Structure 1
Amino acid sequence: MERTALASPPQPPTAESRRRGPRAVLSAVGGVLPGLLLCVVIAAIATIVGRAVPVLGAAIPAVLIGVLIALVRRPWGRVVRGVRFASSFVLQCAVVLLGAGLSIDSVLRVGARSLPVMLVSLAVCLLAAWLLGRALRIDAGLVTLIGVGTGICGASAIAAVSPVIRAKSSQVAYAVSTIFLFNIIAIGAFPLIGHLLGMSPEAFGLFAGTAVNDTSSVVAAATVYGAAALEFAVVVKLVRTLMIIPVSVGLAFAHARRSPERSGFSLARLVRLVPWFLIGFVTLALVNSTGIVPPAVTDALGQVSAFLVATALAGIGLSTDLAAIRTAGWRPLALGGMLSVLVAATTLTTMAFAGYL
């Protein structure tokens, strides 16, 4: 009979193995700390710039400062790990905290009026992005980022979608810069359009909240039009932010279906496709809807989220492949311009048919 080896009894942990756990944690923290601190410093500078020039916000300066530093010297050695940590995990945490600014009450108050307009403009934008992107022969990842950035909420949507589709840092940086350019144009053009069409403050709030992409630009354009327009536009913009959820889940499912290891569809598989940060996003929105969270806490979480977005975008800027951005050429910029005009035109047309103009 073949002799069967006896399993060795479990050994008690040695002093070395007990020290290994804390050492591993400290090593992991130390590994990301240099790059993370660099991103935090850039975010702090970008926040100061954003407060001095509100129309810029903090996100765009953070990307640009990171890109300028990368132009002089790309991240090196231990700095790389922290930069990657900032552009991935920190970014996802920022998306979670975006939910602190939402409430179900706000959605219900303006949903009946704004949701149909937003859904039509979003559907047209995403379809047009796909068609025009193919016609212009633009990389699918960049098309997706520009499409969701234009159709939903600028840099925040790009931040939410980029980890889902595993976008390259160069694609994220180019998409954010493209969205920003047309947001700046919208700040000056939208109030003129509103006055030319004789829009009421509520109608202009719906127009700006639906067709202007980034939150800071929505606030800037609506402020020019008046306080009543600003209040309505901000609520519409928050409702519009909810579109991040179904779009991100849909993209996650599509991305998984294209992967080589995919298997048949099941409910369990669909649940696994939902990114953890979107679950956190919805959870915070639901908690905020109960009214148990003091406004001061909500405001503080919003500020933390904005700073984390700036920190993440600083990391994205630092890790940007500038050669890849130059290679992208004029086509993505043309796509962003066409989509911005199309969203504005679709929004106005839908509002006219619905009797809001």
Structure 2
Amino acid sequence: MKDIYKGLLLTAIISVISIMLNASFLNFIETMTIGILLGIIVANVFRIPESFDKGISFALKKILKWGIVLLGVKLNFSLLLELGPKILLLVVSLITIAITASYFVGRAHKLNPCLSVLLGVGSSICGASAIVAIAPVIGAEDEDVAISVTVISLLGAIGVIVYSFLAQKLPLTDLQYGIWSGSSLQGVAHAIAAAGARGTDNISLEIGTLVKMSRVALLAPVALVLRSLFSKSQERKTKFPAYVIYFILVGILFSVNDYFNFFPTACRLGDMTVDITVLLKKVSNIFILMSMVAMGLKVNFKSFESRASKALVICSFVFVLISLTSLAGIRLSGC
């Protein structure tokens, strides 16, 4: 334990700084993106002693897995049943189109397959959270994750601004606008922020959140499919990662509990009421943030910079494709 505390402490300090910066004047940038960028700056400006390496690697490998398992708390498979077949088909189609397009366009531009798929996954499921969950499943490199998280977060922020502007301009009903926002924007926060552009009491916010969370619920089956595909393409058989199985089980557990209420998710501590679900979500966010900082600390800036620009172009194309396809699907389905 003594040989990991230095690296862990460094990732924790940078994580806290990232949270503070996001809360103060960088709230338009995701905390994970800030953490990655700070990690890259620290690693490339200062020479980090070798004694920090084990702690940084521990945060990147072990703490990331814990964060992914707890990420399952956010899943709610019962939401899929609440959506009509038209919307569910639209969501599944968009995820398939995004990942496929990202893979082949990336391949045409000589981007490695893992990075290309991560860009598609982040664009179509739930942004940075999906990227960090899928990356180990397909054997992606740390730099692939850092690049894709940064690019997805940037485009998500731009998307919120554009969608909020178009909210009052496009001839869409509140229901249609909510479906559009929920089915095409990258992260959960991005989709909800855009869906609420017509007012927090508007049905667009409710339906946008519902559609977005249905995409999150599809993270588990997408992970299973991609693991199978990448195992075949690499001509080797690998066991499905245990932490992803735990992630799925946690999602099923909390989904079933939401319906049957087998166990309480809130408890009293003195005069306070603690929501266990909310607490676990926050712990998951902190763990994943620490692992993203650790990832940044292992990035070589020159390599990152050259690949990030190409990834940004490809991901922008995928974002526009998803957005337009979603609009067309909403129109054709008569939602």
TM surpasses 0.5 = yes
Cα distance in structure 2, aligned partners of 1:329 and 1:303 = 29
The answer to whether the 8 Å contact 1:60/1:177 transfers is yes
Question: What one-letter code is carried by the residue in structure 2 that aligns with 1:224?
Answer: A
- Unpaired runs of 5+ residues, structure 2, are 267-274
Question: What one-letter code is carried by the residue in structure 2 that aligns with 1:244?
Answer: L
1:273 to 1:225, Cα distance in 2 relative to 1, 3 A: farther
Cα distance in structure 2, aligned partners of 1:236 and 1:55 = 23
Query: Partner of 1:48 in structure 2?
Result: 20
Alignment of 1:183-222 (within 5 A): 183-222=156-195
Query: Partner of 1:332 in structure 2?
Result: 311
The answer to whether the 8 Å contact 1:88/1:163 transfers is no
Q: How far off its partner does 1:147 sit?
A: 1.3
Question: What one-letter code is carried by the residue in structure 2 that aligns with 1:164?
Answer: V
Q: How far off its partner does 1:113 sit?
A: 5.1
1:141 aligned to 2:114? yes
1:75 to 1:206, Cα distance in 2 relative to 1, 3 A: farther
Q: How far off its partner does 1:282 sit?
A: 1.9
Query: Partner of 1:240 in structure 2?
Result: 215
Report how many residues are paired: 319
Cα distance in structure 2, aligned partners of 1:343 and 1:112 = 19
Percent pairwise identity: 25
User: SS of the counterpart of 2:3?
Assistant: helix
1:294 aligned to 2:265? yes
Moved more, 296-305 or 166-175: 166-175
Moved more, 287-296 or 184-193: 287-296
CA displacement, residues 270-291 of structure 1 (integer Å, 9 cap, x when unaligned): xx73322222222222222213
User: SS of the counterpart of 1:179?
Assistant: helix
Q: How far off its partner does 1:103 sit?
A: 2.6
Alignment of 1:1-357 (within 5 A): 29-52=1-24, 53-73=26-46, 75-110=48-83, 112=85, 114-227=87-200, 228=202, 229-259=204-234, 261-262=236-237, 273-289=239-255, 290=257, 291=261, 292-294=263-265, 296-328=275-307, 330-356=309-335
Q: How far off its partner does 1:82 sit?
A: 1.5
Moved more, 299-308 or 328-337: 328-337
Cα distance in structure 2, aligned partners of 1:329 and 1:231 = 34
1:73 to 1:114, Cα distance in 2 relative to 1, 3 A: farther
Cα distance in structure 2, aligned partners of 1:30 and 1:223 = 48
Query: Partner of 1:7 in structure 2?
Result: none
1:153 to 1:111, Cα distance in 2 relative to 1, 3 A: farther
Question: What one-letter code is carried by the residue in structure 2 that aligns with 1:282?
Answer: I
Q: How far off its partner does 1:309 sit?
A: 1.6
CA displacement, residues 59-100 of structure 1 (integer Å, 9 cap, x when unaligned): 111111111111213543121111122122212221211221
Cα distance in structure 2, aligned partners of 1:342 and 1:51 = 32
TM-score when normalising by structure 2: 0.88
- Unpaired runs of 5+ residues, structure 1, are 1-28, 263-271
Cα distance in structure 1, aligned partners of 2:84 and 2:132 = 24
CA RMSD, Structure 1 to Structure 2 (Å):
2.0
The answer to whether the 8 Å contact 1:121/1:346 transfers is yes
The answer to whether the 8 Å contact 2:69/2:247 transfers is yes
The answer to whether the 8 Å contact 1:63/1:313 transfers is yes
Question: What one-letter code is carried by the residue in structure 1 that aligns with 2:8?
Answer: L
User: SS of the counterpart of 1:43?
Assistant: helix
